[in-house]
Amino acid sequence: QRMIKRNALMRRLKAVETLGSATIICSDKTGTLTQNEMMVSEIAVDGTRYRVTGSGYSPEGDFFIGNERADLNDSLRLVLTIGMLCNDAHVQGNQVAGDPTEAALIVAANKAGMVKDDLEETYPRKKDIPFSSERKRMTTIHEINGEQVVYVKGAPDIILELCTQVLEDGSPVPLHDEKREEILSVYNDMASRALRALAMAYRHLPLKGESRESIESIESIESIEKDLIFVGLQGMRDDPRPEVREAVKTCEDAGIKSMMITGDFKTTAVAIADEVGISGEAITGEELDAFSDEALRERVGSLGVVARVSPEHKTRIVEVLRNQGHIVAMTGDGVNDAPSLKKADIGIAMGITGTDVAKEAADMVLTDDNFASIVTAIEEGRHIYDNIIKFIYFLLCCNVGEIFVLFFAILLGFSRPLIPIQILWINLVTDGFPALALGVDPPEAGLMKRPPRDPAESIFSKGRGRSILEIGLLMSVLVLVAFTWVGKDVDHARTVAFSTLVFVQMAHTVNCRSERRSLLDIGLFSNKYLTGAVMLSVLLQLSVVYTPWLQPLFGTVALGFQDWIIIVALSLIIVGFGELRKWMKALVIKKNN
């Protein structure tokens, strides 16, 4: 329930524990680090750069050249038409069905007065070749004025390779290397300003005899997507989520590295990474392919951005990171992301944009697709693990203390200080409520200032095993002191010992709340559930001491005021011992630092 409140749906319970050990988050860019609300803000066509105004998916906006409102010429209309028709999304008001990138292209055309339904009726689609992460482009074929016209949109560097002509002054001219470099320069400029640019191109299908070649007779995709005429670029802005920069900083403080892995152009990815605070070297999937596994192992720790990646690249990165001992959290939303999600220690699928296949492969689903929710889930994972440790540590200390009481009593030839029903009462009732309350203890301050937990760490790591023995031994000594102090009446002495053990264990709950911080820092009553649980356990203990019909059952007798002074005084000793251990531990840490 706590994870769901943090927008993280856990599909596998083990992932909650693993989250606390995560050392690196490999995150996609679009929608996770950014708001996934694309808006075309710049268009480059026919040698002219247009600025597009507006906000979000509202069709209100204009086109400007500098500060002057621009006329909608044929070239500008063509680049907008291609963006609208070579498109599978639909926009109704602020509601988007489909990819946000395609929605932005529709909205840009809406600002020019174009309506998608009208265009699709006038220029019906006859065939399409869908976008894929490998092809990095989409193609549609439309019937326009009796002709069959191919529209293509996609990554500028990919589209340029398929073009042999470019639109200049409204007419196609040969695409020379100089012009190609000029277009790439415009593209790089857009990318450096964190704009995601898509290129638009077209061609008419060739004549075959007296009629145009039929779509059915086209033998391959290559025969369609060739000899294209380059029209222009549409640059989209997808602003980073405002909370992501702080989340990345929190990761850094917590010893967790953030890495952006995206299909976008390298320059765009680096610009967004700079805005959100992700640092490190940037490479592309092509450069990644050139690395041997050994070379990649040497460099992967310094990487901050990996751009132009395929799903296979994601899987390879996860494998290399895991081989280096990292605990990897990997995000994904597509069908092709399933292998990397399964390979990662924590596969994280997107709840809004993610496919069912990705969600099935993941350990965790983000209900808001937000990087910051991964960080809060990691914080919650650390919190849950800490509380599990507190719960187990408390019960082990109590059980070891009870064992030592009986062991030393037999060893020293004492009468039994505890009878079976008293031990059963302590284990099932008075210990149970405080232990459960420790399981819902508030998170400690500085939870995300600590390095990730070693997955091999156990309840007995970091000196906890020795601490359990020390606390258990001290509990037994205090109980036996109480047992021998109060006199020769066995029932009276046993009642004092019984109550001392309960009160000592209740006092020990405050020691269990933190391994580092003093009770004075934490606050005695900062966990209201623990306060209530201790009070309930004390009242229950008083009931078995003073209720006449329970006294024979539990072998107790009524205690006097002096008895309670002894019991409370002995109980406070264990609090002092716990505080002393924390103080000494702090001195050692300070000395080592």
Active site residue ranges: 28
Contact status, residue 409 vs residue 462, Cβ threshold 8 Å: no
Q: Which residues lie below 8 Å from residue 424, measured CB to CB, with a gap of 6+? A: none
How many CB atoms lie under 10 A from the CB of residue 498? Answer: 29
Tokens 């995560």 label which residue?
Answer: 22
| Three-state DSSP state, 204 | strand
| Residue in 453, 560, 578 with CA at minimum distance from that of residue 499 | 560
Contact status, residue 121 vs residue 148, Cβ threshold 8 Å: no
Rounded Cα gap, residues 478 and 497, in angstroms: 9
DSSP 528-559: HHHHHHHHHHHHHHHHHHH-TTTHHHHT----
Rounded Cα gap, residues 58 and 47, in angstroms: 27
Rounded Cα gap, residues 82 and 99, in angstroms: 16
Rounded Cα gap, residues 347 and 359, in angstroms: 9
Q: Which residues lie below 8 Å from residue 308, measured CB to CB, with a gap of 6+? A: 263, 264, 265, 266, 284, 285, 286
Rounded Cα gap, residues 64 and 547, in angstroms: 88
Rounded Cα gap, residues 398 and 534, in angstroms: 14
| Residue in 108, 112, 107 with CA at minimum distance from that of residue 96 | 107
How many CB atoms lie under 10 A from the CB of residue 69? Answer: 10
DSSP 254-285: TT-EEEEE-SS-HHHHHHHHHHHT--SEEEEH
Rounded Cα gap, residues 64 and 50, in angstroms: 5
Contact status, residue 317 vs residue 329, Cβ threshold 8 Å: no
Task: Report the phi/psi class of residue 551: left, alpha or beta, with left for phi > 0 and alpha for psi in -120 to 50.
Answer: alpha
587 exposed, middle or buried (CB, 10 Å; 0-12, 13-18, 19+)?
exposed
Contact status, residue 199 vs residue 191, Cβ threshold 8 Å: no
